[in-house]
Structure 1
Amino acid sequence: MVLTGKLTKKLVENLGPGRHGDGGGLYLVVDPSGARRWIVRVVVKGQKNKNGGPLRTDFGLGGADIVTLNQARERALEYRRMAKQGLNPRYNAKQETPTFEEIAQQVHIERMPTWKNAKHGQLWINTLRDYAFPKIGRMPVDSIGQPEVLMCLSPIWTEKHETARRLSQRIKIVLDVAKSKSFRSGENPVTAIKDAQVLPKVLKKPKHHKAMAWQDVPAFYADLKTRNAMAAKALMFTCLTGARTGEVLGMKWGELDFDARLWTCPAERMKTGEEHRVPLTDEMLATVEPLKAMQSDYVFKGQKRHRPLSNMSMLMLLRRMNVEGMTVHGFRSTFRDWASEAANAPREVAEMSLSHRIGSQVEQAYARSDLLEKRRVLMERWSTFVTGTTGTVVNINVRG
């Protein structure tokens, strides 16, 4: 059916402020600001307003920059037909189904305050952007079933299994939200695929960060200590504390209490999402105190004054030192091995030193202490061992 009226595409683009009729109750409203939108006025058959007169109602049809003239006419015609049948368009107009990408982007925005940090939030949407949007992003969210989900998951299920697993979780969330908003019904296809074991079982091979043997650390540290680069200072501190790369490189001066000999890493930078206290030893303090002269917000300053050191800086330093196959994160494993094999430290003390959760949720609820003083003893002995000032530590009295 060809729809015609008084307006033309050129008039829609150029008419000045006011209400401009196209006929059949359709109007183009141009605001003083220049914004243009469509409205349609209908009279609902047999229905009365609060004063007893015919129920005449205006409905918005969208902005003229998005809804074309022909689309506006089609929608206006649909509203007039419903009104003529005694149906109020407010409750009976067909709701346009959004696409998968539109729902996903909205979910991302709505959950933004809940992300641990901006990076995690971006990773969430990036996974969908890279593996789902190219295949199902433009599809109406109510038309996505098992075949469409499998189109996204199958190509990467075995080669990039962890990515595929996260992708499936995120697709499921988007489809669940769509169902909660009445845009789709029935079982979530991601759940159906999982329950039916449609995809092959992938044996997960744990990937451990390659770590230096604890017996080799004193010699390595002695070499490291001869270097003046900021990456060397950061790596020394990382080795001594057993902290994660992001925790160290993001450290600011306000987190350090030199009098209490304590570094308090804030929750937003911790993997556990909880604040973590690290006892500082003489060697740790000696490493960071000279860096105050840099007058940077960050303890380990990057190339720009108030920016932190690059995430890759310490790893690249290891490569320059010809320490092949080892990772920065691996020093956490090195410390843990030393604490168990050489120091005979209690498990809970060693684990808390690495900011690991201990025990079940019930046990965690009752274990309120972070064993700071016991960890202080352990870290002092670790620093002593690393700096090579004494021989191998055989036993550490941190049980009392």
Structure 2
Amino acid sequence: MVKANKLTQLQATKLKEAGMHGDGAGLWLKVTEGGSKSWILRYAFNGRERWTGLGPYPDVSLVEAREKASAWRKQVREGIDPMKVKQEAVAAARVADAKAVTFDWCATQYVESHRSGWKSAKHAEQWTSTLNTYASPVIGKMDVGLIETAHVMRLLEPIWHIKSETASRLRGRVESILDWATVHKYRNGENPARWKGHLDSLLPARSKVAKVKHHPALPWQEMKPFMAELRAQAGIGALAVQFTILTAARSGEVRGMTWDELDLDNRLWIVPAERMKAHRELS
């Protein structure tokens, strides 16, 4: 009977001589010229000798190597080729990886499916930029079905207190993408990025993190001299500011005005729905 368990933990640690050092029953500790060590198992199946690696030492301890070797020998006794089992497991894992739907892929699909409904190309660019900067490095390559609260917190916590608005938008965008993935059956269960009843228990409200700072406003008592000074200035910029004040329009709507939006005969300016934040035509 072949004697097993010849090596001790101390011997395995101190071995420096390059070569194969036997523990018995086909288990060997291989030491390279460079000093690295790994476990090798020699076994026979259907009369054919085979060698397989069981992992590097000390990542795989002496005890673990013996347990692995014992499991392989048990399969051989049962008429199972452990090498074939290992190869099939690796192949199955590769197939599973190939079929996995990643967060990045879902994000791309979400943006593309909503792009036509957004008011501008810039909005899509902002979505993509935020996700690429903060989400993709952390969860981009993950199977979207495996994303949990801890992963979402890893995205948000580093910026929640210093970039509160960006963090809030990021959370909302991640939530939307995960909802999209759920509807498409790529994941199940609750959305780990939802705020109400979930993340609001883990993070302070954005309003408590950073006070809203409004743009300075001109006191109404100063409007008359301001408008007089504005009218005295030349240039399209001054005219645009006057027009914005008199119509209470958004600056972007005024700056994006085109001649075909103007009905000069009826003194009307018709802003098309696609240029309005509320997506409704305004005149």
TM-score tier, shorter chain, comes to: 0.5 to 0.7
Q: SS of 2:279's equivalent?
A: coil
Cα 1:194/1:161, change in 2 over 3 Å: farther
CA distance in 2, matches of 1:230, 1:202: 39
- 1:224 is matched with 230
Say if 1:146 and 1:193 are closer, same or farther in 2 by CA, change over 3 A: farther
Deviation of 1:110 (Å): 1.3
Distance change in 2, residues 1:272/1:194 (3 Å): same
Which residue, 187, 200, 216 being the options, matches 1:210? 216
- Distance in 2 separating the partners of 1:127 and 1:255: 33
Q: Is the 2:119–2:276 contact (alpha carbons within 8 Å) kept by the matching residues of 1?
A: no
CA contact under 8 A between 1:265 and 1:276: conserved in structure 2?
Answer: yes
Residues 1:78 and 1:129: Cα distance change in structure 2 (over 3 Å): closer
Task: State the shift of 1:183 in Å.
Answer: 2.8
Asked whether 1:111 is paired with 2:114, we answer yes
Residue aligning to 2:258: 252
Query: What does residue 158 of structure 1 align with?
Result: 161
Residues 270, 191 of structure 1: alpha-carbon distance in 2 compared, 3 angstrom cutoff: closer
For residues 192 and 118 of structure 1, the distance between their equivalents in structure 2, rounded to whole angstroms, comes to 27
Are residues 187 and 106 of structure 1, via their aligned partners in 2, closer, same or farther at CA, if it must alter by over 3 Å? same
Distance change >3 Å, CA 222–CA 106, structure 1 → 2:
same
Paired residue for 2:203?
A: 199
Q: Normalising to structure 2: TM-score of the pair? A: 0.60
Equivalent position of 1:98 in the other structure = 101
User: Helix, strand or coil for the counterpart of 1:212?
Assistant: coil
CA shift in 2, pair 1:208/1:149, >3 Å: same
Q: 1:247 deviation in Å?
A: 1.0
TM-score (norm 1): 0.43
Q: Distance in 2 between matches of 1:276 and 1:208?
A: 26
**Residues 125 and 226 (structure 1 numbering): CA distance in 2 closer, same or farther, change over 3 Å?**
same
Secondary structure at 1:190 match in 2: coil
- Distance (Å, rounded) in 1 between the aligned partners of 2:195 and 2:281: 39
Question: Is 1:243 the equivalent of 2:249?
Answer: yes
Structure 1's 200 and 206: CA in aligned 2 closer, same or farther, altered over 3 A? closer
SS in 1 for 2:270: strand
1:78 CA drift (Å): 6.0
Alignment CA distance shift 1:266-1:160 (3 Å): same
Contact 1:146–1:192 (CA under 8 A) maintained in structure 2: no
Name the structure 2 match of 1:169. Answer: 172
**How many percent identity over aligned positions?**
43
2:149 to 146, 150, 155: 146
Task: Please state how far the C-alpha of 1:149 moved relative to its aligned partner.
Answer: 0.6
Contact kept in structure 2, 1:131 and 1:152, CA below 8 Å? yes
The equivalences for 1:319-338 within 5 A come to: none
Q: CA deviation at 1:109?
A: 0.9
8 Å CA contact 2:119–2:277 kept in 1: the answer is: no
CA distance in 2, matches of 1:217, 1:192: 42
**Residues of 1 paired with 2:183 and 2:192: CA distance?**
15
When residues 148 and 239 of structure 1 are mapped into structure 2, their CA distance, relative to the original with a 3 A threshold, is same
Tell me how far apart the structure 2 counterparts of residues 191 and 259 of structure 1 sit (CA, whole Å): 51
Does 1 or 2 have the higher relative contact order (CA < 8 Å, sep 6+)? 1
1-side partners of 2:195 and 2:267: how far apart?
54
Aligned-partner Cα distance in 2 for 1:113–1:218: 43
**Structure 2: stretches of 5+ with no match in the other structure:** 1-86
Question: What is the CA-CA distance between 1:192 and the residue it aligns to?
Answer: 8.0
**Contact 1:193–1:199 under 8 Å retained in 2:** no
* Cα distance change, pair 264–192 in 1 and its aligned pair in 2 (3 A): closer
Following TM superposition, by how much is the alpha carbon of 1:215 offset from its aligned partner in structure 2, in angstroms? 1.8
Larger radius of gyration, structure 1 or 2? 2
The question of whether the paired residues in 1 share the 8 Å contact of 2:102 and 2:142 is answered with yes
How far residue 245 of structure 1 moved from its aligned partner, in angstroms, is 0.5
Distance 2:195 2:245 in 1: 47
Q: What's the offset of the Cα at 1:203?
A: 3.1
Deviation at 1:193, TM superposition (A): 8.4
Corresponding letter in the other structure for 1:115: W
Cα drift, residue 185 of structure 1: 2.5
Counterpart CA distance in 1 for 2:205 and 2:241 is 40
Q: Give the counterpart of 1:120 among 118, 123, 138.
A: 123
By percentage of residues, which structure has more helix?
2
How far, CA to CA, are the matches of 1:257 and 1:151 in structure 2? 53
For 1:145 and 1:266, the matched residues in 2 are separated by 42
Q: Distance in 2 between matches of 1:274 and 1:115?
A: 13
The equivalent of 1:180 in structure 2 is 183
